[in-house]
Structure 1
Amino acid sequence: MRLKFELTVGTTLLASVLALSTATTALAEYPDRAIQAIVPWGAGGGADGIVRKIMSIAERELPVSIFVENLDGGVTSIGINRLMNSQADGYTVGALTYDSVVTVPWEGMLPGYSLDKLDMIALVTTEPNAIIVGGKTNYTSYDDLITAAKEAEGKINVGIMGLGSMTHLTLLQLQESTGTRFRIIAYPDGSPGQKEGILSGEVDAAVTSLGDFAPLLTSGDARGLVEFSASENPGFPDVPTSEEVGLDLQTGSFLLFAVPTGTPDEAKQVLGKAIETAWNSDEFQDWARKVGVTATWMGSDAVTGFAMDFQADVFKTLKELTDQGILE
């Protein structure tokens, strides 16, 4: 019995050592296969462009490729669900935007979802909201639009990204500040729907970011009337800031990257370093300025606190608007 016991202990100890050695070796070799980057919005939008650009640069720092997959729908909830339920091994990373942090949990669109189901590794951009109109409309300035809205109350169509979205809150704040009322048209698929609405004439204006509409702004199919920012956008210096039009309103969204909770620290560090190197590159910085996106860096040590605080602040605002009957 004693010999059998010693043999069992020795075998167990050897198995444990081998398992630990195998796990350590596997982790040391990370990454050894392609990494998936999930975009919870459709192809062609602002978030898609940012993710594809920064990941195309980041993969140069890695021995493997990063492939981007668009999982559109449910105001980012479909993409979040895939990310949240992916294996926590460092081979799946996803982009989160305002709606991922606020709209989806506020509306209860994804049962079981909360920010603590994800580990955030970096914030890479912030994007002030703006008012954009079609290139063929008669609105050539912010004042033109506001004057028309006061004369035709509730008849000017403005596209937002979804009820309860940051663009929706921005429009509500604009109405309150200017004593206007617009007819709100929601596009749950985000900027692609807004673009179609602008080009088809379904909406007269849209609340979105200049970066999302960069190709249309450059081509002349759309024009920006105001950006809700304190500083001039280097990509579109002709678009006035809210301060320049006499408006006390600054709002916008952001894009950050996260992985499933429980992802090994080493994998998060490798991913974070590759993303940070890409963010710091002249290529990304120049691209961001060109398309009107603000390159903003926040590493893993700060981004989680930022997201939690941001969510709490907006939840408070949403509750106040709900209590007032402005939101249902």
Structure 2
Amino acid sequence: MFAFNTLDSSLRQRLAKGVAGATLATAALAAVASVPVAQADFPQRDIRMIVPWPAGGGADAISRKISSLAEESLPTSIYVENIGGAVTATGLMQLAKARPDGHTIGVLTYDSVVTLPRGNMVPGYSLDKLEPFARVTQEADAIVVSKQSGYSSYEELIEAARANPGTVRIGVAPQGSGPYLAVRRLEAATGVSFNVISYPGSSTAEAEALLSGEIDAAISSLGDFSGILSSGDAMGVVELSGSQNPAYPDVPPISEFDVELETGSFIVLAVPANTSEEAIETLESTYHQAFESEEFQQWVTGIGVTPGWLGSDEVNEWIEDYQQRTFAAMDELDL
């Protein structure tokens, strides 16, 4: 075996160049291997959208509609998978564990942003594991009464609850939800007492309860009840907002009755944390294009939902502010 320093100078130079070349080649291979998959042409396969509610509700319908329009700008499809349970945590924890390459996205609603973080309800659930990139809608909650309830206005509903405390049956989502907080705030603001009945899952259960006469009224968005509103089996009597909803000119905002109460729902789109900026930019621009399309705007306002776009630069700040305001209201009511 020869020592390196015993070789002639020309051979030493050739060996040195060979070692340097090998080192550069190795470094180049390492650099290529370290490039995230999502930086290649995106998307490379169909995109999975997780809706953390059962099929049939408002969040499901809106998510499917905008995704069907978004995929028209992509070389692949976007398919929706409903994974309900644990007040959205079951589906969103699957989102958080998905590969952060942009091929799995999910839907955040009020419960995802407020109910779960507020109560630390599900071990391991955290918004820090997700990266929101767009808000699509922001809609006010409303009070809807069944046709057979005998009530035809907000004033009649409140007067009945005041005259006979605990007898007017009103359906809402479980404690910690936006509608539950809304009914408690309404009681505090008006000095009345309702018989509050909670329904887990989507607003579909409340709609069925209204139709069967199990409850007199329910709180959710007008969009969630669009089916029974259009059929005439129910009617909206007030929207928990400070301004008139142009899609429902016959449903007054609660501000007309000197009550300050604004609450509602929204749809935010998110990916797993650490998803590449390139993938997020593609998803954001694709969904923004779908959002701005005439078809989506006409459809979403037609079901009584207010479109409200925020991009990736704004949505996280909005979520933080929304949490702070809502938690403060909960603290006032000791909820």
- Does TM, normalized by the shorter one, top 0.5? yes
Alignment deviations for residues 59-81 of structure 1 (CA, whole Å, 9 cap, x no partner): 11111100011111111111111
Change (3 A) 1:24 1:313: closer
Aligned with 2:151 (options 133, 136, 139): 139
Corresponding residue SS for 1:102: helix
Change (3 A) 1:174 1:320: closer
Does residue 197 in structure 1 map to residue 209 in structure 2?
yes
Partner of residue 275, structure 2 = 263
Partner of residue 29, structure 2 = 18
Partner of residue 7, structure 2 = none
Q: TM-score, normalised by structure 1?
A: 0.92
Alignment of structure 1 residues 91-110 onto 2, 5 Å: 91-110=103-122
Partner of residue 72, structure 1 = 84
Q: CA deviation at 1:124?
A: 0.8
Does residue 127 in structure 1 map to residue 139 in structure 2?
yes
Amino acid at match of 1:63: P
Change (3 A) 1:13 1:187: farther
RMSD of aligned residue pairs (Cα, Å)? 2.0
Q: CA deviation at 1:11?
A: 4.5
Corresponding residue SS for 1:136: helix
* Residue correspondences, number: 323
Alignment deviations for residues 215-241 of structure 1 (CA, whole Å, 9 cap, x no partner): 110011111010112222232221111
Does residue 229 in structure 1 map to residue 237 in structure 2?
no
Alignment deviations for residues 276-304 of structure 1 (CA, whole Å, 9 cap, x no partner): 00111111111111000000011100100
Amino acid at match of 1:199: L
Aligned with 1:57 (options 38, 56, 69): 69
Partner of residue 252, structure 2 = 240
Change (3 A) 1:93 1:5: farther
Q: Is contact 2:71–2:77 with CA below 8 Å preserved after alignment?
A: yes
Distance in 2 of aligned mates of 1:282 and 1:158: 36
Does residue 282 in structure 1 map to residue 291 in structure 2?
no
Distance in 2 of aligned mates of 1:189 and 1:318: 22
Alignment of structure 1 residues 19-58 onto 2, 5 Å: 19-21=30-32, 23=35, 27-58=39-70
Partner of residue 8, structure 2 = none
Q: Is contact 2:38–2:276 with CA below 8 Å preserved after alignment?
A: no
Distance in 2 of aligned mates of 1:125 and 1:287: 12
Amino acid at match of 1:86: A
Aligned with 1:216 (options 225, 228, 231): 228
Q: Is contact 1:75–1:162 with CA below 8 Å preserved after alignment?
A: no
Amino acid at match of 2:249: P
Unaligned runs of 5+ residues in structure 2 are: 5-11
Corresponding residue SS for 1:162: coil
Unaligned runs of 5+ residues in structure 1 are: none
Corresponding residue SS for 1:155: coil
Distance in 2 of aligned mates of 1:316 and 1:8: 65
Change (3 A) 1:19 1:198: farther
Q: Is contact 1:234–1:290 with CA below 8 Å preserved after alignment?
A: no
Distance in 2 of aligned mates of 1:5 and 1:101: 59
Distance in 2 of aligned mates of 1:203 and 1:62: 45
Does residue 83 in structure 1 map to residue 95 in structure 2?
yes
